[in-house]
Structure 1
Amino acid sequence: MPQSALSLERINALLPRPISEETLRETLFRSKVEPGARLGDRLTVEVTPDRLDLLDEAGLARELSGLMGLARGMGYAFEPAPLPGVEARQNASVSPLRGEFVAVALEAPAGGGALDVGLLDEVIRFQELLHATTGRDRRAGSLGLYPLERLTPPFRYALEPLGQIRFTPLSSSQELAGKDFYQTHPLALRYGDLGRQGELALTLRDEEDRILSLPPVLNAATTGEIRPGDRRILVEATGTRPARVRELIGYMLLPFVERGWKAHPVPIHGPEGSRDGQEVLRPRRFTLAGAGCNACWACA
């Protein structure tokens, strides 16, 4: 089953009141989390595949708050209006290769709460876990996060000739021609076929024609690199299956919204018309049979 090593300090920081490791283990016994070994501040937890939200400190803290009666329901609300000018265009050319594309703009709470080192590390770890599980090693879907304040919308998702691509990979200072990148970079050798079609490759660019990423392989240096201090972040997901792509981006919002960040829809204009982006954020209601719930919880 999926597992991750979570920070007890970060979990406690999100709870209405701190709890001991013993209380945490006892409480998790009532959930789908199997706590394992502890090493320093890190506690390894294992979950069933339907509860990947519990493999993030924010998601586990939310679960604990509910189980202990310290909180009820979601403590946040999604913003119905997009940020001014923040939208994207999806070219028809991407459809045969990786045609599902959704995005959300995140905004830090006023007066504090900008991206810090701890949250950045948490987000990167959770992103890679989601790629390996829900994303099926990026085949069904993948995620990208970008520094919205340093970019110029609208954004453009398209399939382009390799000859038009020059790309500086994340964590590098060397610009590469598109063909060289796909022939030499380790991640391109592993995932390149998911984002290429012959001599064409998927790109995400901003209005200034700067490449943000080559989905689903790698982000670009600078334009595709979120850093401590960032207060606005663009999150996008691409893939082949609508349900997987929406699930991925929903999970990825969790570390942010549980810390007070606002999530804004990003309208996307594509070959089949325009979407307002609300489908990613809109709450859904489910009707559950009371008798069945009581039986499951053994409290009838």
Structure 2
Amino acid sequence: MPVVNVRTSLLSKIFSEMTLEEIIEKLPYLGLDIEGLDEANDKIRIEFNPNRPDFSSENGIVRALKGILDVELGCPSIHDLRTSSSSIMVDEQLKNVRPIIYGLVAKRAFPIDNEELTQLISMQEDLHNGIGRNRKKASIGLHNYDALTFPLLYKGVSRQVKFIPLDGKKECSLAEILSDFDVGKKYGHILEKFEFVPILLDSKDKIISFPPIINGNTTRVDQATSNLFIEVTSVNPKSAKDILSILSFELSDMGFDLYSVIVDSTFHKKIVTPILKPYKLQLDFNYVNRMLGLELTHEEILVCLQRSRCEGIDKGSGKLECIIPSYRIDLFDKVDVCEEVAIGYGIFNLEPLHPSTYFPGRKNNQSIVFDKVRDILIGLGFMEIINPDIISKSLVRDVFLEDGHSDKKLVTLGDSKNTEFELLRNSLIPSIINTFSKNIHEKYPQKLFEIGKTFSATENEIREDWLLCVSIAHNTTDYTEIKSNLESLMKYCFNAIVTTPRYDTNYFLTGHSARILLKDQKIGEIGEIHPQVLENLNLRTLITVFEFNLSTVVNILNLDQIRIV
């Protein structure tokens, strides 16, 4: 999870009527975690959820705190967004490369200080990693406005064009930057399939940016800079709009006056950026109370929304219109509005209650089976782990090496804000091997198992199954060892025998893997993990694994109707 440093002196200054302890006590009720407090260095480290990129700076956190502490209520707004004649022309050649560019100008009478610049750069990187998907979807350039001349031209050029990159001393070609610079090696793959690459020039033909790789040195921002130009390049308008909106409120909180920029494209209509218009969601007052289990009046709900830095309008007939500031890109459903009401009401004010009626019950047969599996595996020396159901595409590719578990069978998340959480897993193997990669400093042998839900897409539906994955890591583990554990589990848990006909796949070592069959029906697979997979995850020990579908085993053995041994 990303972390932001917030100055304790700033919190004490803004909320002067409260002690620092009282302020910190309220932070978790905004969905924030306290990672560490260092009063000697005037810092508190706060962990925030990636779906709240506005929390990637201390100003964003202070903005939310002002609401729940009744210092400022309602939507923050930038009333003085000033129009300007500054413009950016977009070249036709970028239509299929990186076609979107948005911008704004920020001015104030005094230069940016070190703390502000540090916060701004930190926020830039968090936005790159989140909304920007490691710069693939969007990237940000921060520039000294006074060092450039409008209008700007955003165009495509060959890789032989030269300029002086940020912090550089001499001119380098774009090809050299992509091949020799660390930043080029890291992000160059984004541009590798294009004949032309994007650059941003001012009216004097100075290259000020090579997005999404690096800025030019002529517009370098330092502590003598008082006027800024911000540009966001992207593959889609929404990402650019969201990022620039978040940055606009950040710069406004820093005391900058904001000026619009006109973007004139041959393949998109002329647009004025940033776009800061709030958006609206419609729902019922009764829906809010029903979801929260409260009996708030209409007026109380409206006040709760104001404390969450939103606005509410009573439209009559029990209808509520919620007005949401443009930087709150995490709110897009009625349930999200209910959560904001709960935050404004104060999570600490919610009181736990006992159910009005007692409903006696018992474990279902599936839970009994799972508990029996756990008992046997713990007895065999294994430790249970629990991993998230949502994983990254890169982890799947690193483990399955583009084999039968390709993206086509996976259920992906739409508009994910974090590259670590992109799809619903259809196997537990990537998660368990990734766990080993995080435990390389622990003693071996390591013996882990997980019972977890998986998801796979079919033509008409998304299928959900419960799988078991068991794995061993040490320098001499082999197919024989993992198979003996499989046979012991099946015998003592299910009183069943499985067969293991040879089956080769990319992610298992050739000749050291098999399918797992129960009553001639496939339930899973077993084998030694391929060395390439181990190398991909920086593992230096051997790993063996078996995985099978517990839901299928329950059906084959008819365990819903018989008592397991």
| TM-score, scaled relative to structure 2 | 0.49
Cα 1:299–1:51, aligned 2, differ >3 Å: closer, same or farther?
A: farther
CA distance in 1, matches of 2:293, 2:209: 46
2:88 counterpart of 1:88: yes
Contact persistence 2:104–2:273 (CA under 8 A): no
Query: What residue is the counterpart of 2:63 in the other structure?
Result: 62
CA distance in 2, matches of 1:188, 1:89: 25
CA distance in 1, matches of 2:32, 2:293: 16
CA distance in 2, matches of 1:260, 1:74: 18
Contact persistence 2:245–2:274 (CA under 8 A): no
Give deviations 1:17-74, integer Å, cap 9, x for gaps: 3643311222123211122212332222122222121231100111111110011235
Gaps of 5+ in 1: none
Cα 1:143–1:56, aligned 2, differ >3 Å: closer, same or farther?
A: same
Cα 1:195–1:280, aligned 2, differ >3 Å: closer, same or farther?
A: farther
Query: What residue is the counterpart of 1:181 in the other structure?
Result: 177
* Structure 1 stretch displaced more, 41-50 or 261-270: 41-50
Contact persistence 2:87–2:151 (CA under 8 A): yes
Cα 1:195–1:5, aligned 2, differ >3 Å: closer, same or farther?
A: same
CA distance in 1, matches of 2:250, 2:238: 20
Contact persistence 1:98–1:195 (CA under 8 A): no
Query: What residue is the counterpart of 2:158 in the other structure?
Result: 161
Query: What residue is the counterpart of 1:47 in the other structure?
Result: 48
CA distance in 2, matches of 1:234, 1:169: 17
Query: What residue is the counterpart of 2:8 in the other structure?
Result: 8
Amino acid at match of 2:91: N
Query: What residue is the counterpart of 2:29 in the other structure?
Result: 30
Query: What CA RMSD, in Å, does the superposition of the two structures yield over aligned residues?
Result: 2.3
Give deviations 1:154-208, integer Å, cap 9, x for gaps: 1111110122x21211112121122222221110111123245455221011000
Cα 1:38–1:171, aligned 2, differ >3 Å: closer, same or farther?
A: same
CA distance in 2, matches of 1:196, 1:264: 35
Query: What residue is the counterpart of 2:133 in the other structure?
Result: 136
Query: What residue is the counterpart of 1:191 in the other structure?
Result: 187
Cα 1:31–1:279, aligned 2, differ >3 Å: closer, same or farther?
A: same
Cα 1:296–1:231, aligned 2, differ >3 Å: closer, same or farther?
A: farther
Contact persistence 1:195–1:214 (CA under 8 A): no
* Structure 1 stretch displaced more, 200-209 or 96-105: 96-105
Contact persistence 1:90–1:156 (CA under 8 A): yes
2:238 counterpart of 1:237: no
Name the SS of the counterpart of 1:27 in structure 2: helix
CA distance in 2, matches of 1:18, 1:132: 37
Query: What residue is the counterpart of 2:210 in the other structure?
Result: 214
Cα 1:18–1:91, aligned 2, differ >3 Å: closer, same or farther?
A: farther
Query: What residue is the counterpart of 2:270 in the other structure?
Result: 275
Identity across aligned pairs (percent)?
20
Give deviations 1:7-26, integer Å, cap 9, x for gaps: 2234445x253643311222
Name the SS of the counterpart of 1:251 in structure 2: helix
Cα 1:191–1:71, aligned 2, differ >3 Å: closer, same or farther?
A: same
Gaps of 5+ in 2: 297-565
Amino acid at match of 1:9: S
How far is the alpha carbon of 1:259 from its aligned partner? 2.5
Contact persistence 1:78–1:263 (CA under 8 A): no
Amino acid at match of 2:87: E
* Structure 1 stretch displaced more, 278-287 or 198-207: 278-287
How far is the alpha carbon of 1:249 from its aligned partner? 1.5
Aligned length in residues: 293
2:105 counterpart of 1:116: no
CA distance in 2, matches of 1:22, 1:297: 30
2:104 counterpart of 1:104: yes
Contact persistence 2:82–2:258 (CA under 8 A): no
Cα 1:149–1:292, aligned 2, differ >3 Å: closer, same or farther?
A: farther
Amino acid at match of 1:201: V
* Structure 1 stretch displaced more, 274-283 or 232-241: 274-283
Contact persistence 2:103–2:273 (CA under 8 A): no
Contact persistence 1:195–1:217 (CA under 8 A): no
2:201 counterpart of 1:205: yes
Cα 1:30–1:292, aligned 2, differ >3 Å: closer, same or farther?
A: farther
Cα 1:58–1:5, aligned 2, differ >3 Å: closer, same or farther?
A: same
2:264 counterpart of 1:265: no
CA distance in 2, matches of 1:260, 1:184: 39
CA distance in 2, matches of 1:299, 1:49: 32
CA distance in 1, matches of 2:194, 2:224: 40
Amino acid at match of 2:163: F
| TM-score, scaled relative to structure 1 | 0.88
Contact persistence 1:86–1:154 (CA under 8 A): yes
How far is the alpha carbon of 1:283 from its aligned partner? 2.9
